[in-house]
Each structure stands twice: as C-alpha cells, then as structure tokens.
Structure 1
Amino acid sequence: MDTPNKNESKGFFAAMTSGLSMFSNAMHRSVNGLLGYEGVEVINPEGGKDDAEEEAQRGRWKQEERDSYWKMMHKYIGSDVTSMVTLPVLIFEPMTMLQKMAELMEYSYLLDRADECKDPYMRLVYASSWAISVYFAYQRTWKPFNPILGETYEMVNHGGITFLAEQVSHHPPMSAGHAENEHFTYDVTSKLKTKFLGNSLDVYPVGRTRVTLKRDGVVLDLVPPPTKVNNLIFGRTWVDSPGEMIMTNLTTGDKAVLYFQPCGWFGAGRYEVDGYVYNATEEPKILMTGKWNESMSYQPCDLEGEPLPNTELKEVWHVADVPADDKFDYTHFAHKINSFDTAPRKLLASDSRLRPDRYALKMGDLSKAGAEKSSLEERQRAEKRTREAQGHEFTPRWFDLTEDVTSTPWGDLEIYQYNGKYNEHRASVDSSGDIAGVDVKSIEFNPWQYGNSSTE
C-alpha cells in the first residue's frame, strides 16, 4: 500500500484552513491518498490544528505493521468483526470485557441517591448521570480481552456492592451481569454488534440494562447510544458516542432523553451532553447539561424547556481525579477492579484476574501475553470439540437463559437472568473456616466445564 508523502499531506491540511469551498476536494484527496478508499475520517479530537499533519501519519503500529494489518483487515469492511478476527495483543489492555462491565459501578452512589430520592424526576437525574459517568472510562482506546466461555468476574468491597459477570455465550459473544447492594439491583445482558469501516469501527450495544430501586420497587431501563472507534490504524485512535441515551422509568412512564453531541472537526462539540427529564405525558420537567468527561448538572424547567425563574444550574456528578500519565489511561477505580483488592475470599477459578495473558500484559511481557492468549483460545476450541462430541450444550453457572426476547434499536436479544446460586456459593465459602491464608493469586485460571472441569 502506498503511503502519502509529506508534501501531499501538507496540501490537504493547508486546504482545510483555506476555505470551505476547497474542503470537499481536499477531503477526497486525503482519504484516497492515505488508504485508497473513501469514507475515512481523519480528525484531531483534541482541538489543535498545528499537529494535524502529524496525527494523520501516527498510529499504534510501526509503518510495516499497520500496512500488514490493513492488508489483513480490508476484506472485513462492512462486516461484524466481534468474534471473527484474531487481533494482535499489542492493542489490548490488561483487562477483560467482564471487568469493563464492572466499571459502571464506580459512581454507584448516584443510584443510592436515586433510591433515597422521593422526587420521581430527580431519581432520573441521578440515575441517568450514573449511566453517563462510565463514558469517561470508555474513552480508553485499548481493547479489552474477549472473555473465555464460562469466564467470570467478581467484585466486592465497593459501596456495599456484590458484582458478578459471566460469559454466557461465545458465538455470538454475550455476557450477563448482576450487582446488588442495599439500595438497588442491576441486571444486564450484553451482546455487542460491530461494523468495521476500515479505519473506524461502529459498536452497537445490543443489550438490556435494568436497575431496580429497592425502596419503592421502581424499575429503570437504559438504552445507550452507539459508539464509534475512530482512526483504528492511521492517526490517534479515539472514541465517540454520538446519539441518544434514553433511561425510562418502566413503573411510571417518566424518562430522561439525553443527546451525546458528535465530535466535529478539531474537536468541536466533543463530550457535550444535553437533554431533559420528561414526565409520562412527555412534558419537560428538568433540563440536564454537561460533558461526559467532566460533570453533569441539572435545573428545573418550564414546558418550553426553559429554566424556571429563580432557579440555578446545580452539579449532580463530577469525574473523580485520575492518575497522571497512566500507561493505559486507567482511572483509580480501573486499577482497583483490576487488582485483588476487590476480590472476595476464595475467588472463583474462572475469574478474569487469573488469566495468564492478562497478567503477562499487565507486567509488560507482550510476547508471553500473545502466547498465553493463543493457548487459551485453543483450549476454548478444544473444549467445544469435547462438548459437542459428548452431545452437550454449554450451560452458564450463575445465569439462566429465559424465554424472553427483547427488541433493541440494533436487533433482538435473548435475555439471561441471574439465578441466585452465586449468593448460596458465596455464603457457603464465607462461612467455611478452611480458607484462611489462601493466596488467591496462586489459583490457576480454569473456566472450563468440559474436558478439564473446574474444581469449584
């Protein structure tokens, strides 16, 4: 593949600032010169112009690596690549998708406040702010590891929450999660759908997320916006989530509708979120505004959506401080859930923390991480062959497949329901006296149910 020379790139980026009349032709020349096909967005999301030329030629790989990767990937343009492509470990972060699901619990105090709140509209302010809060963590551009079938992740020691997630299907990849404390229960069935566009990837959250507030039994349903990963191969990789987020109170019919602004050229509008909390008759009651990487605020409004006189904008959520110059752009909470500090006693052998590929990557050994990843994937294929030879179907341990099928904007979804067996298991473990001094780090990763059965 030919790479544009420096003079050609200068011509494009100079054209971007010389007038709108030249914009379309310049864009066409840049895209064709860079990748040889149309439809790729080259953008500096940080807002600066001086380094735009440099950004267009930067990537996560060396020149020869990205050329090779592009040759491999171009045949998948327009396809769902959720589980059909083996990716190099150098683009991964030392965390799995199950752990990433748990990051939604960082600001769980907002759900506690929603449960304690008597105002039905403020409940949605708190709850929708909780749903927005995770997007600061989701802007990381490193790819988490795909969970092995039967893999789990457990989390305790945070806000009184017990969190459990399990990989319940491999084809298609599906995860189920359950979290609970004294104020709420959280249940999710997640199935990602993707569309590879060359230098970008559209991610559609084909899932169902439900939160039940315990005080009054209110049930909240969340539909998040899609996500776009930009500049996968060429340029600085960055994430955007343009579109609507809708949180509906299924008990009362009230809802919060929040619009995530798309990122424009030179970062215009990036991070901005605006919208309203509506009553059951779709009258605006509270306006909400902010940035998903900073904070969210609210203010009572009239039927035209204008702020009520003698009221002021009040902050409801603010992002926590983050480590400086972190290698993987982790928050303090991400480090916490990636450690054994949030692990319960006698961790399940299927837990993500115990994966040898994840640990090797965390320790900076890419070669070993790649070898361990390949080994786990081969063992997963071997287990499938054993299971099929025995005429068995995989059955999740902690979640049951229901007969419910729910419609989402991106396709139908089979629903998995938490079966409560984990509570029994955890109560049994915590009451036993034979696990004192057990080093959870020494447990061998073992999610297998066939051919190499777990000892749990």
Structure 2
Amino acid sequence: MESNDQKQSGGLFSSIASSFSNFSIAMNKSVNGLLGYEGLEVINPEGGSAEEEAQRGQWKQEDRDSYWKMMHKYIGSDITSMVTLPVFIFEPMTMIQKVAEIMEYCHLLDLADECEDPYMRLVYASSWAISVYCAYQRTWKPFNPILGETYEMVNHDGITFISEQVSHHPPMSAGHAENEHFIYDVTSKLKTKFLGNSVDVYPVGRTRVTLKKDGVVLDLVPPPTKVNNLIFGRMWVDSPGEMVMTNMTTGERTVLYFQPCGWLGAGRYEVDGYVYNAAEEPKILMTGKWNKSMSYQPCDLEGEPLSGTELKEVWSAAGTSESDKFQYTHFAHKINSFDTAPKKLLATDSRLRPDRFALENGDLSKAGAEKSSLEERQRAERRNREEKAQQFTPRWFSVSGEVTPTPWGDLEVYEYNGKYDEHRAAIDGSDCIEEADVKSIEFNPWQFGNVSAE
C-alpha cells in the first residue's frame, strides 16, 4: 500500500512523466502523426503496440475524421448535454438504469445493517460502493434519459427501486431504493471536461445510505472518472483518486485510494485504504481490484496487519460471457428484462424506449432514427412549455431546498417524496396485467402532451 506522499503525487500519467517522459512524447508524436491528430494522447494500458491499438479502434477511419472535426471545438468544455452522439457507440441501457445497477451487490448493505462491529459495517458498505465500478469497464455509452423518464425495479432482494430524470439542463437524476435493511437515496449530476481523445467525468452528486437496524447514515463521495481513447484506440476507463464513505452518525469513515493506471497498465484497477475510527486511527485495511474483488484485514495504529490475522475476501465480481457484446452480467441483463418490472409498468420506464429496444435487437438504423425522434420531441416539448410559462415538476422526487457542497461544485438535492409507495400499493392491490400487455405500452415521458417534432 502506498504512503500518503506517494498518493498525493500520483496522477493518471505520473509514471509516464517521471520515468518514460521522452519515450511517451515520441510515441504520442508517432501515433498522432500517423492518424493526423497531433496533440492527442494514445496509451494502451494492456501493453503491446500503441500504433496498432490506435489503428484498430472501435470506429472506422472516416467516422473518426468526421467526429474529430465536430468535437475539437469543444476541447476544455463540459459536453454533458451539448453534443449528439452516433448510436453505434451506445449500449441498450439508459443512465437512470445505470443508477439501478449499483443494486447488483446490495446484499453487502444487508450485511452492513446486520453487523454489530462498526468497522466491519463500513467494510461491507464500502465494498458495495466499489462494486459498481465493475460496470465501468463497459465503455459503451448509455442513453441520456428524457426529462421525466423513469426506471422501476422489483424482484431483486426484496428491493423496491425507482429513479427519475428530474432535470434536463443540467442533466440530473434522482433515485430511491428500499428493502427491510436499508434505504438508498441519490441525486446524480455529472460534470464533464472534454480533452480531445479523453473526457474527465466529475460525479457532482450525493449518495446516502440509511441502515435501518441502528439508524446510521452513510455518506459516499466517489472519485472522478476518466474515459480514454474516445476518438481512436481501444476505449478504456480509469477512476484515479479517493473514495470516502463516512458514518455521519458516529464519525467512522473509510478512505480508499483508486490507483491511477500507469504505463503499460501498471497499477490499473488497484484499490487500497483503511477504515478509520472517529479519532482518525486505522482499524481495518482494505485492498483489492475494483474489477475483481476486495479483501480486508485488521491492522494496528501504523496500518500494518495484526499478527495472527489473515486477509479475507469480502466481495468478488460476477462473471460475464466472452460472447456477450456489451459484457453484461446476469444482473445487467435483468435490468433490461421485464422480469424485474412491476405490475402495470409506468409508461415513462426506460425499458419501453423505442431507441433502446431497437439497439437491443441489433437494429442500429431504427435505433438512430428513434433516438433522433425522441430528442426532437423533447426539444419541442421544452419550447411548448417555455411558451406557456409552464414548469416541469418531477412526479416521484421533490426539490428539498438543500444545497450540498461536493468536491466539484454545489448540488441542489432532490428527495424522495413517498408518492411512488402510494402508487405501487394501489397498483399491487389491483388485478395483474399480462406481460405481453406490458411490452406493448407506448413510451410516454411527456408531461405536457406527446408533442410531435415540428
């Protein structure tokens, strides 16, 4: 495990800068000169030939050329909602479905709730927070939700889950999940910085977990993420920096450091850190890889493992099939499935989006057309709303009035208003409709009427 000084001096390309700077400059010039993109960085974290990697990127050469001509003017900008992207870089899932994906390993929160040891409670909860990063290996982009779009999930570990797109400019979503052990609430807002062949993503959000047994509240601050090789080369994701989970009730916290990916993949995926008591003394060390597993071991006040103890695994990632184009786990497939949908699914649900459904069926032409149609109808509804001086109001979440600071800017917090529980109770008490009828529901997130493209 690294010292604090080492951690503070680390950066995504620190090993390149310190040990391979001259070679890195030469390699960049060679590769970028070859493709006509002087000044863009190309690295291959898996090793091998960088030029070969750049040439066999996900996009065709003509696609890269036209995309670069469009995108270079945005360098240094936040492109969260500025740019329309081609459908062939998407996966058949929306951003608010990705919010639900953090529930894949929610059994760890059940264990945290049942745990009497305050430090082990944070081991379980922190491992749950790390588990979602497995999904970040998927470099396909999820669809941006339409304003008012929702996602519902049931039939998974007793959870009721609802998320909603609560704002379009800036893009913001809110989510709420609950079972007998925990309550999960999130307000999510992404801030980006486009850097040419990469984009930095800053999670300007707030995540809170309430464990029901003792009523403790856990607050999560995740690290930023960097998406590399947007224009050419094999796209890959890194999340260098600190993740902090704090028990706001008693003061203990976990600080985990996500190692930056070094030259030829050195340190990629590695996470290590400690669970501290309220006096900032280390009690348990944690180590592992965010794409595979996490382990823990009791430690002394110097952070060294206690004699007579051993490293124990607390979480391991589910496997994916090599033949699966999008590298989905079984749970990720369930997110798109109607198996996890409740009775009488809301017409605003992401599963019903025609562009997402067409992409899932492999029809890129239809997916692109449907995506363009939805985006134009959203713009038309916005014009109509503004002309009539009407205000969009989320159904299941309300503005709390609280503005919370984050490392990347202040956040207006949305809170769950409880209305979905009332809606679900009324629906569950009625007769069930057939699954075929559920699939035939027309996607309709329009709060001010189904506005056709003008």
2 CA distance for matches of 1:224 and 1:332? 25
- Change in Cα spacing, 1:442 to 1:297, as seen in structure 2 (3 Å) is same
Q: Tell me if the contact between 2:343 and 2:432 (Cα under 8 Å) persists in the aligned partners.
A: no
- Change in Cα spacing, 1:285 to 1:398, as seen in structure 2 (3 Å) is same
How far did 1:58 drift? 2.2
The answer to whether 1:253 aligns with 2:251 is yes
- State the partner residue of 2:30: 30
Matched letter for residue 136 of structure 1: C
Matched letter for residue 23 of structure 1: F
Deviations 1:401-440 (A, max 9, x none): 1110000000000000000000000010110126356621
- State the partner residue of 1:7: none
Q: Which runs of 5+ in 2 are unaligned?
A: 1-15
Partner-residue secondary structure (3-state), 1:439: helix
Matched letter for residue 196 of structure 2: G
Partner-residue secondary structure (3-state), 1:336: helix
Q: Tell me if the contact between 1:323 and 1:332 (Cα under 8 Å) persists in the aligned partners.
A: no
How far did 1:29 drift? 2.1
The answer to whether 1:384 aligns with 2:411 is no
Deviations 1:286-328 (A, max 9, x none): 0000001111000000000000111110100011122232111
Partner-residue secondary structure (3-state), 1:134: helix
- State the partner residue of 1:293: 291
1 CA distance for matches of 2:230 and 2:164? 28
The answer to whether 1:190 aligns with 2:188 is yes
Alignment of 1:21-100 (within 5 A): 22-30=22-30, 32-33=32-33, 34-38=35-39, 40-46=40-46, 48-49=47-48, 51-100=49-98
2 CA distance for matches of 1:381 and 1:322? 38
Residue from 206, 213, 216 that aligns with 2:214 = 216
Matched letter for residue 259 of structure 1: Y
TM superposition score normalised by structure 1: 0.92
2 CA distance for matches of 1:347 and 1:289? 41
Matched letter for residue 165 of structure 1: S
Matched letter for residue 61 of structure 2: Q
Aligned length: 433
- State the partner residue of 1:442: 440
Percent identity, aligned pairs only?
81
1 CA distance for matches of 2:186 and 2:300? 34
1 CA distance for matches of 2:362 and 2:356? 10
Residue from 260, 271, 274 that aligns with 2:272 = 274
- State the partner residue of 1:10: none
Partner-residue secondary structure (3-state), 2:375: helix
Q: Which runs of 5+ in 1 are unaligned?
A: 1-15
Q: Tell me if the contact between 2:287 and 2:296 (Cα under 8 Å) persists in the aligned partners.
A: yes
Q: Tell me if the contact between 2:256 and 2:272 (Cα under 8 Å) persists in the aligned partners.
A: yes
Partner-residue secondary structure (3-state), 2:377: helix
- State the partner residue of 2:125: 127
Partner-residue secondary structure (3-state), 2:205: strand
Matched letter for residue 171 of structure 1: H
How far did 1:138 drift? 1.5
How far did 1:356 drift? 0.2
Q: Tell me if the contact between 1:275 and 1:288 (Cα under 8 Å) persists in the aligned partners.
A: yes
Deviations 1:95-129 (A, max 9, x none): 00011111100000000000000100000000000
Deviations 1:20-64 (A, max 9, x none): 5841541452365145443x3322222x32x43310222221111
Matched letter for residue 184 of structure 1: F
1 CA distance for matches of 2:410 and 2:226? 21
Which stretch of the first structure deviates more once superposed, 433-442 or 416-425? 433-442
TM superposition score normalised by structure 2: 0.93
- State the partner residue of 2:431: 433
- State the partner residue of 2:260: 262
- State the partner residue of 1:104: 102
2 CA distance for matches of 1:434 and 1:299? 49
How far did 1:74 drift? 0.2
1 CA distance for matches of 2:373 and 2:268? 40
Matched letter for residue 26 of structure 1: A
2 CA distance for matches of 1:333 and 1:324? 16
- State the partner residue of 2:282: 284
- Change in Cα spacing, 1:287 to 1:21, as seen in structure 2 (3 Å) is closer
How far did 1:216 drift? 0.4
- Change in Cα spacing, 1:333 to 1:436, as seen in structure 2 (3 Å) is closer
1 CA distance for matches of 2:269 and 2:93? 24
Matched letter for residue 108 of structure 2: L
Alignment of 1:165-184 (within 5 A): 165-184=163-182
Q: Tell me if the contact between 1:386 and 1:451 (Cα under 8 Å) persists in the aligned partners.
A: no
- Change in Cα spacing, 1:327 to 1:418, as seen in structure 2 (3 Å) is same
- State the partner residue of 1:393: 391
RMSD, matched Cα: 1.5
Residue from 392, 399, 416 that aligns with 2:414 = 416
2 CA distance for matches of 1:433 and 1:21? 67
